């Protein structure tokens, strides 16, 4: 990867981090009146995968989709306005944080029922193939989603039809407060499930941008060359509470120590150190980036705040096309 690209990817990761933290700061104001699932700590997966996709490619996601939406190039102003329930939101305020969309960026949609966008992404891939388009479709989901039968139905069909779709599993070890131990067999590697279907399945450190990019690049190439689907499992960690702006290690479902060990492996810091070490940029550059992002965020907040709420007439609009 060129220094220029690396800088750009770092910028994207930093931007997602700063946006999510700003949302966490503002959430207590109770103006964003919808559930939010922050992706702080998991930015590398979103950025690394989307860095290998073109704007024409499609992405779907689930409840924790802010990072995926932003990494794919989704309009940030429209996203924030959506969280504020405003008419200028990407879904006119009808969806909120759990229902983001930006067609112009190829982010076709995120919905929060666990696993349910997986077959929809596979279907989008089928559609592009039937239409003779050369797009790749990627779908992001958490490790709990592989517990849903629909995941298996989806990957079986994707392999059967050799569809250009990439399954990206962000394994952060928890489904809300439930550890993997109460949900999946011990020592059963998730990426190996995929192999059982005849789909190439790989696993890597989701906090290492380079590892993510490496696997994503070959998966995209495979899809483009008609090689069919790929399953990628990235181990990572959610820093904040499952849903909402706070930290929740005090609840006792995971240890503070475990959290700290993952915090030390912060994907943003990790990349920053590397780039500085490689002399690709210096701390001053990153400060410039922060300022630029800060400004963008302030503008988006102002936009979201001053935007109007959807008027009453919109309630019964767009029920049918």
Interface positions, 213-242, toward a second copy (CB under 8 A): none
**CB environment 71-110: b (16+ within 10 A), e (fewer):** bbbbbbbbbbbbbbbbebbbbbbbbbbbbbbbeebbbbbb
Determine, following the binding rule CB under 6 A, whether residue 96 of this chain makes contact with ligand TPP. no
Binding mask 289-318 for a second copy (x = CB under 8 A): ------------------------------
Determine, following the binding rule CB under 6 A, whether residue 67 of this chain makes contact with ligand TPP. no
Name the nearest CA neighbour of 13 among 213, 302, 262. Answer: 213
Minimal CB distance to ligand TPP: which residue?
Answer: 142
Return the number of the residue (157 or 174) whose C-beta is nearest ligand TPP: 174
Show the tokens assigned to 153. 């139905």
d(CA 35, CA 27): 10
User: Is the dihedral angle over the CA atoms 227, 233, 236, 239 positive or is it negative?
Assistant: positive
Report which DSSP code applies to 251: G
Q: How far is the CB of 243 from ligand TPP (least distance, A)?
A: 7
Determine, following the binding rule CB under 8 A, whether residue 179 of this chain makes contact with a second copy. no
Return the number of the residue (123 or 244) whose C-beta is nearest Mg ion: 244
Determine, following the binding rule CB under 8 A, whether residue 173 of this chain makes contact with a second copy. no
Name, in order, each residue with C-beta under 8 angstroms of 313's C-beta and a sequence gap of 6 or more.
none
Contacting ligand TPP within 136-165 (CB under 6 A): 141-145
Q: Which does 276 bind (CB under 5 to 8 A by kind): ligand TPP, other proteins, Mg ion, none?
A: none
Name the one range near a second copy by CB under 8 A: 49-57, 93-101, 188-196, 297-305: 188-196
d(CA 218, CA 224): 10
Contacting other proteins within 258-317 (CB under 8 A): 309-310, 312, 314-317
Name, in order, each residue with C-beta under 8 angstroms of 65's C-beta and a sequence gap of 6 or more.
37, 98, 100, 110, 140
Question: Could you give the C-alpha distances from 140 to 64, 280, 285, in angstroms and in order?
Answer: 9, 30, 31
In the complex, which residues of this chain contact ligand TPP (CB under 6 A)?
Answer: 63-64, 112-114, 141-145, 172, 174-176, 238, 242
In the complex, which residues of this chain contact Mg ion (CB under 5 A)?
Answer: 142-143, 172
């Amino acid at each position: 990867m060129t220094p220029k690209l690396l800088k750009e990817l770092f910028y994207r990761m930093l931007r997602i981090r700063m946006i999510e933290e700003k949302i966490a700061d503002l959430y207590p104001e109770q103006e964003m009146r919808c559930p939010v699932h922050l992706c702080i700590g998991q930015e590398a997966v979103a950025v690394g995968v989307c860095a290998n996709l073109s704007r024409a490619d499609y992405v779907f996601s689930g409840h924790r989709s802010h990072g995926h939406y932003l990494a794919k190039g989704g309009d940030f102003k429209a996203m924030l306005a959506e969280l504020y329930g405003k008419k200028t939101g990407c879904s006119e305020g009808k969806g909120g944080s759990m229902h983001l969309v930006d067609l112009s960026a190829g982010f076709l949609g995120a919905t929060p029922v666990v696993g349910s966008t997986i077959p929809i992404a596979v279907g989008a891939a089928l559609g592009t193939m039937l239409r003779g388009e050369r797009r790749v479709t990627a779908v992001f989901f958490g490790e709990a989603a592989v517990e849903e039968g629909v995941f298996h139905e989806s990957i079986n069909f994707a392999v059967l039809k050799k569809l250009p779709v990439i399954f990206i599993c962000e394994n952060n070890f928890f489904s809300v407060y439930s550890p993997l131990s109460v949900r999946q067999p011990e020592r059963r590697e998730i990426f190996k499930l995929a192999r059982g279907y005849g789909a190439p399945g790989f696993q890597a450190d989701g906090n290492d941008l380079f590892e993510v990019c490496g696997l994503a690049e070959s998966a995209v190439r495979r899809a483009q060359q008609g090689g069919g689907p790929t399953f990628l499992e990235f181990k990572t960690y959610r820093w904040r509470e499952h849903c909402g702006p706070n930290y929740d290690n005090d609840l006792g479902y995971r240890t503070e120590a475990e959290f700290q060990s993952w915090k030390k492996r912060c994907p943003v810091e990790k990349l920053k150190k590397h780039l500085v070490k490689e002399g690709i940029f210096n701390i001053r550059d990153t400060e410039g980036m922060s300022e630029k992002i800060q400004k963008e965020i302030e503008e988006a907040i102002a936009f979201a705040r001053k935007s109007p709420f959807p008027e009453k007439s919109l309630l019964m609009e767009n029920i049918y096309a």
